[in-house]
Amino acid sequence: MSHLFQEINDFETVQLINEKGEVLQNDLLPALSDKELQLLMERMIYIRTIDQRCITLSRQGRLGFYAPVSGQEATMIGTQYVLEKEDWILPGYRDLPQMLYQGVPLYQLFLWSMGHHKGGRMPEGVNVMPPQIIIGAQIIQAAGVGLGLKKRKKDNVVITYTGDGGTSQGDFYEGINFAGVFNTPTIFVVQNNQYAISTPFEKQTAAKSIAHKSVAAGIKGVRVDGMDILATYVVAKEARERAISSDGPTLIEAVNYRYGPHSTSGDDPTIYRNEQLEKEWAKKDPIIRFRLFLEKKGLWAKERELQIIEQAKEDVKFAIKQAESESKTNVSNLIENMYAEDLPYNLKEQLHQVKEKENR
């Protein structure tokens, strides 16, 4: 057989701690203080507790669309933790945890879920775009934001997130190609949670991995255990350092698993996932794994975990009340917030008609 066609080498999965909390690669462990290690654990527990409460609130009709995140905390928290305040996040609809720790208040994330017009109004000085509901659209936008940072000679990066299904969208390929051509300081994080709604990863692409897709774009690619928070932190930190050093963008494939449904909008994962698969991934749980690691170092106590859980529950109670206290969104609000300056004449006419009906 001809040897003209060469096989692309496999991308080895970066993993620092295993399911038992044992260190696999001491030389790659990040130089984080004991307090920082504890903080990473606190954030994962906090987010999982909020996630559970949000699912309940959505089913009660108090929240709107909500995409569960349990199982993906290590990817979300680990990659966001490397960011500076002036860095940008371009999230997808599942990426509320990263937005929270970049400075968006919890109640505003709830407003976004409710479809309230104030939900997409990011606080002044918080470099976060509203969550993109169109699959993969944030990828090409992140390449553009990265080019803007480069032209302004900013010593900052933009990070964006999507799922494995997002890599099948045209915008994904356009975005990573654009970033590669213009060498933008952009970090693309793909959370390969095994299912794009009900479509399994093996039916999503013929590529050996999502990391392989970096090759065609001429950018750095890496595959990481997305349920190992130290591994996600290390690869994201290196990606950020490369970006600000003008060494180019990075595509990070974080291999993880979403325990819950794709969203609370009617998806039933029991139809396409079996109990054995759930058990296998449960053994890799990011919180259990990191808890074992911290306990071996004498850095974790059950009492602190319970405190974090209770704090998260109280914060959710306060935030949902705050969000529900806002006046309801109406059609005129949506029209008035569409343009920063004067509305075009046709929308002015429509606004006048709408207000007449609302005031009756």
Structure tokens at 160: 């964006």
Q: What is the DSSP letter of 23?
A: B
DSSP alpha helix (H) spans, the chain: 34-59, 73-80, 96-102, 106-114, 137-151, 170-182, 213-217, 229-244, 275-282, 286-296, 302-324, 331-336, 345-358
Residue 184, exposed/middle/buried by CB under 10 A (0-12, 13-18, 19+)?
A: buried
All domains in the chain, ordered by first residue: 13-327 (3.40.50.970), 330-360 (no CATH)
Rounded distance between C-alpha atoms, residue 134 and residue 91, angstroms: 11
CA neighbor of 225 nearest in space, from 257, 249, 197: 257
Catalytic: 94?
no
Low-confidence ranges of the chain (pLDDT < 70): 1-3, 5-7
Catalytic: 272?
yes
The pLDDT assigned to 1 comes to: 45
* CB contact at 8 A, 187 and 179: no
Question: Tokens 């325990």 map to which residue?
Answer: 259
DSSP 26-76: GGG-----HHHHHHHHHHHHHHHHHHHHHHHHHHTTSS------TT-HHHH
| pLDDT digit string, tens, across residues 9-43 | 789 999 999 999 999 999 999 999 999 999 999 99
The pLDDT assigned to 136 comes to: 93
Rounded distance between C-alpha atoms, residue 90 and residue 131, angstroms: 7
CA neighbor of 251 nearest in space, from 334, 160, 123, 335: 160
Instruction: At 155, give phi and psi (nearest 5°).
Output: -90, 55
Residue of 94, 116, 258, 291 with catalytic role: 258
Q: How far is CA 330 from CA 22, 119, 320, 324, 353, in A?
A: 54, 14, 20, 15, 13
Catalytic: 116?
no
The pLDDT assigned to 46 comes to: 98
Residue of 59, 121, 272, 352 with catalytic role: 272
Model pTM score: 0.94
The pLDDT assigned to 39 comes to: 98
The pLDDT assigned to 41 comes to: 98
Residue of 43, 48, 242, 262 with catalytic role: 262
Question: Tokens 């993993």 map to which residue?
Answer: 15
